Amino acid sequence: MSTSEYEPPADDEVLRLVQAAISARNHAYAPHSHFYVGAAVLLHGGRIVEGCNVENASYSLTQCAERVAVTTSVAEGHRNFRAIAVASVGGAMPCGACRQVLAEFGMDMAVYTVDVIDGEQKMRLLSELLPDAFSGTDLLP
């Protein structure tokens, strides 16, 4: 599907997705930064899989909420994502590493962010957030 054919999830799906991300944030383990993040991915078919950030004293071993939601989905056999929502104070966008992980599963994915303090939401397509994503085909001769 090209970006020009993209159809966003229905309003009720976005509401469920955002609420799931906010709920997932309650499970975050962030004793070092105290920056609690929840994420939820919307699968084709309407199922939602949640994730939260899991910190480690060695910061490079920390797992972002977005990657936890994606890897949980993959571990359950799901690889076809329609959208992801990320809930945090300030409505932070996914980091570069998370953007690249999401790109593995489709550039037409909607990325919703929500500020848990004031409820402000934003939406961008992943292709806007990572216009020159690395792909496995870049490795071919």
Q: Is 52 annotated as a binding residue?
A: no
Write out the two tokens for 102.
């999401």
> Residue 76 catalytic?
no
98 belongs to an annotated ligand binding site? yes
HSE (CB half, 13 Å, CA atoms) of 36? 12
Query: How many angstroms separate the CA atoms of 114 and 44, rounded?
Result: 22
Consult the annotation and say whether 128 binds a ligand. Answer: no
Catalytic residue among 5, 13, 50, 66: 66
Q: Is 55 annotated as a binding residue?
A: yes
Q: Are 44 and 80 in contact (CB under 8 A)?
A: yes
Annotated binding residue at 26? Answer: no
Binding residue per annotation — 23? no
Alpha carbons 48 and 50: distance in angstroms, whole number? 7
**What's the one-letter identity of residue 64?**
C
> Which distant-in-sequence residues (6+ apart) come within 8 Å of 128 by Cβ?
none
Does 59 carry a binding-site annotation? yes
Which residue ranges are tagged as binding site for Zn(2+)?
Answer: 64, 95, 98
Known catalytic residues are 66
Q: Give the residue ranges of the annotated binding site.
A: 53-59, 64, 95, 98
